[in-house]
Amino acid sequence: MSSAWRRLMASLGFTSRAPEPPLLEADELARWYAGLDLKQRLAVSRDLVKRVRAPRALRDPSALPAIVTGRLVFELDGPQGPVPLHHLKVELWDRDFGTPDDFLGEGFTAADGTFAIRYDPADAGEGDLPDLELRFFEPQHTFRKDGRVVEDWRRIGTERGPDDHAGLEYDFGTLRLPYWEYDPSTPLARLLVVEEGTPPTAYAPGRALAMLKAVAPIELVKRQHQLQIRLGQAPSLARIQAEYPESMTVRMEQQAPGSSRSDAWFGERLLNGMFSSILDRDPEAPGDPRAFRLYLPWNAYEQDGVHCLPDVDLRLRLEEGRLMPQRIILGMREPGATAPGSPVTRRSFAPGDGADWEAAKRMARVSATLDVELGNHLGQCHFNVEQYAIAAHRNLRRNPLRWLLMPHLREVVLINHSANGFLVGPTGYITRASALTEAGINQRLEHLLGSYDWKGFAPATPVCEGHRYAQAGQLFWKLLGEHVDAFFAEHGAAVEEQWREVRRFSDDLVAHSAPAFVCRYLRARVPGKEAPWFVRSERMDLDAKVAEPPPRAVSAVTRTDTPQPGELEALKNLCRYVIFFATFRHAWANNLQWEDAGEVLYACLGLRWGKGGALSTEEDLDVAPTPDEATEMLWISWMLSKTNYGFILSNEDEDVHPRLLELLRAHAAQFAALGLDVRAVSSRINI
C-alpha cells in the first residue's frame, strides 16, 4: 500500500493495523465505493484517475486508430422529428467479465446530438478484443465556500455495442434515450413517468429521515382512526381533532373564544396567512384606496353535487390598518347541480347578519383554502416550477446558468409525481374532499397554468403597514435580484457563449406551456382599457395574451442562437422568478398549512350539502368533512408543514452559491420581524 493511499484512507476514516490488508474483491470494492458520500468519492477518484485515465488523455486523439460514432436523441420526437440531445458526456468502455472494465475514450454530443470517440483497441488489454459499451453522463455541481464550482458527472444510461469488435470503425446509429420526456397526455408541461416507472432523478438521502421524523407520530394516529372507521366505530370530529397536535386556531379558541372566527382574523389571514392572495381594488368603489376585492370563480367547473362550492365575491376595506370583510356575495348552485355554468342564485351577506354572516365567512374561508391548494401551492409553485425544471434538465449542460437554477429545480418532479395520485387524479384527496371532480380540477389547473408567466412579474405592493407577506416578498425579491445580478456579472459572458442552450431552454418552455388563459370577465374589462382597480403585478401581461388563437402562457426569452438586445436582462428576470417560487413563495404557502388548515371545522377543502343546506353553523356536522376525510386532512396539513429538508441556509448538498446564503443571513432579523424564519425556507420544492 502506497503512503499516498494510506493517507487518503486515513483522511476518509478507514484505518488498518495490519501492514497490508487482505485483497478486496471487485464487488466488495464497488459496494464500499457506492457507500461513500460525494466528497469521499471525489477524493478517491482524484487519487485513482491518474492510473486509470491520465496516460490515455496525453495521447493525440486524432492519432488513435479506431473510432465509434453515433447520435443521441430524445426518446419522443418533437413536431419536426427527432430532438437531439446536445452536450451530453459519452464514454466508451470495454466490458470485461470478472475484471474491471477498461476505459477507452470519451467525447460530447454536438448540437445535433452526434458524437465521435477515437480510441486504441489495445487499451482493452493484451489479446482482448474490446466489447464496446457507451455510457452517458449528465453534469452535477457543488460550490466551495469561496464560490468556486466543482463539477461532477452522474451516469444516466448505457448502450451495449458488439462483443469482440475487431474493426476500426463502428457506428452505433441513432440512439433514443428516454430522458426528461414531456407527458403527451396532458396540456400541462409535466414529466412523463410510465406506470411502475421512476423519474430520472432522486431525493437527497436526508429527506427520507426528515419525512419519517415528522410523520411517524401522526401516522399511527391516522391509521387508528381509519381502522375504527372500517370497523364501524368512527370517532367523532372532536376526538379526531384532539388526537392530533394542537393547531393555532384551536389554541386561539382555548385562550379567547371566538378570536379565530372574528372578522379581524379573517382579514389578517387573507393578508398574511396561507391564504395570502392578490387583492384587487374594488371596481365598485373607484378611487377609494382602502376598498378591495377578492373573487373566486368556481361555477365554471364541474362539481360533484355532494359538496357546495359557490362563486365567492369578497369585498373588504382597510380600517385602522386592519383588512375587514364588508360583504360576501355567494353564487349558489342548486343542491346536486354538477354541470359547469349551472344556474346560480346570488346571495349577499354583511357583518350584521349574525349566524348567516358567520356561515358565509366559513364558506369563503373554505373556498380560499381550496384556491390556495390548487393555485398558490400546487399550481403556481409545484406545477409551474416543474415546467422550468424539465426544460432546464433537457437543455442546460455547458451553460453556467445550470449552476444558478438547478439547486432550485431538483426534486420538484418527484413530489409532483406523487401528487398525481395522492392529491389529484380520480382518487386524490382534493378530488374526494372538495366539490371539484377530477375533470373540474384538471380544467382549473389548466386555467391556472395558463395564467402564469415570468415576464413582467414582480411581487405585489403591500396594501398596508401590516401586510407582512407582501413586505417579506418584496425583500426576498430584492435580494434575489442582487444574487442574480452578481451571478451574471461573473458568468454572463459564458452564458452568452452558450446561448444556443438558452434558446432551446426557452423554446421548450414556450412550446410545452399551457395556452394562455384570460377569462371572459377580464377580457372585457382589462386588455386595452383603463382598469386602475386591476392589480397587474404578479400577473401576466393580459394585453399580450388575448390574441386568437391563444398564445402560450410562458413568454420566450429568445428566439435566436445569439442574444439580442434586452434578452440577457429577460433571462435574469426569468431566473429570479423561478427561484422566488421555488423558495419564498412555496415556503409561505406550504409552511403555514398547519396554522391555517390544522382545524377541521375552521378550514377544509369542501363543505357538504347538509339537510338544512350548506350555510349552517359549525355544530351542524352534516356539512362538515366526514371522519375519514377529517383525519386525512389533518395528517396532510401536518406532513406538509413539518416535513422539511434541503433548507437554503443549511445547504446540505452544497449546490447553492454561498452568496445567496450570506444575503439571507444578513437580513434574517428583517425577515423575522415580518413573520418569516429564513431558516425554514427550502432551496427547492420537495414536499
Q: Which helix (H) or strand (E) holds 126?
A: none
Cis peptide before 549 (omega within 30 of 0): yes
Q: Is 212 exposed, middle or buried (0-12, 13-18, 19+ CB in 10 A)?
A: exposed
**Contact (CB, 8 A) for 581 and 344:** no
CA dihedral for 47, 48, 54, 55, sign (positive or negative)? positive
Average pLDDT score over residue span 313-334: 97
| CA dist., res. 430 & res. 432, Å (int) | 5
Instruction: Give the residue, 270 or 63, on which the prediction is more confident.
Output: 270
**Contact (CB, 8 A) for 293 and 279:** yes
Q: Is 521 exposed, middle or buried (0-12, 13-18, 19+ CB in 10 A)?
A: exposed
| CA dist., res. 275 & res. 18, Å (int) | 65
pLDDT of amino acid 22: 64
Which of 33-37, 594-598, 599-603, 642-646 is predicted least confidently? 33-37
Q: Lay out the sheet containing 311-319: strands in order across.
A: 280-281, 291-296, 311-319, 322-332, 345-349
pLDDT of amino acid 40: 74
The string of pLDDT tens digits covering residues 647-664 is 999 999 999 999 999 999
| CA dist., res. 527 & res. 545, Å (int) | 9
Which of 62-66, 115-119, 293-297, 470-474 is predicted least confidently? 62-66
What value does the mean pLDDT of the chain take? 93
pLDDT of amino acid 97: 83
Which grid coordinates belong to 551? 398564445
Which grid coordinates belong to 235? 370517532
pLDDT surpasses 70 at 275:
yes
Long-range CB pairs of 673-678 (<8 Å, 24+ gap) are: 674/468, 674/469, 674/471, 674/472, 674/475, 675/272, 675/468, 675/469, 675/472, 676/468, 676/472, 676/584, 676/587, 676/588, 678/648, 678/649
Helix (H, G, I), strand (E, B) or coil at 236: coil
pLDDT of amino acid 14: 46
Which domains are delineated in the chain? 1-52 (no CATH), 54-177 (2.60.40)
The C-alpha torsion from 404 through 405 and 406 to 407, rounded to 10°, is 70
Give the percent of the chain with pLDDT over 90: 86
Using the CB atoms, write b or e for 632-644: b if 16+ within 10 Å: bbbbbbbbbbbbb
* Residues β-bridged to residue 436: 303
Which of 109-118, 299-308, 374-383, 542-551 is predicted least confidently? 542-551
Helix (H, G, I), strand (E, B) or coil at 184: coil
pLDDT surpasses 50 at 319:
yes
**Contact (CB, 8 A) for 84 and 99:** no
Helix (H, G, I), strand (E, B) or coil at 311: strand
Q: Which segments of 396-467 does DSSP mark as H helices, in order?
A: 401-409, 412-422, 429-433, 438-449
| CA dist., res. 370 & res. 296, Å (int) | 10
Q: pLDDT grade, residue 376 (50/70/90)?
A: very high
Average pLDDT score over residue span 632-645: 94
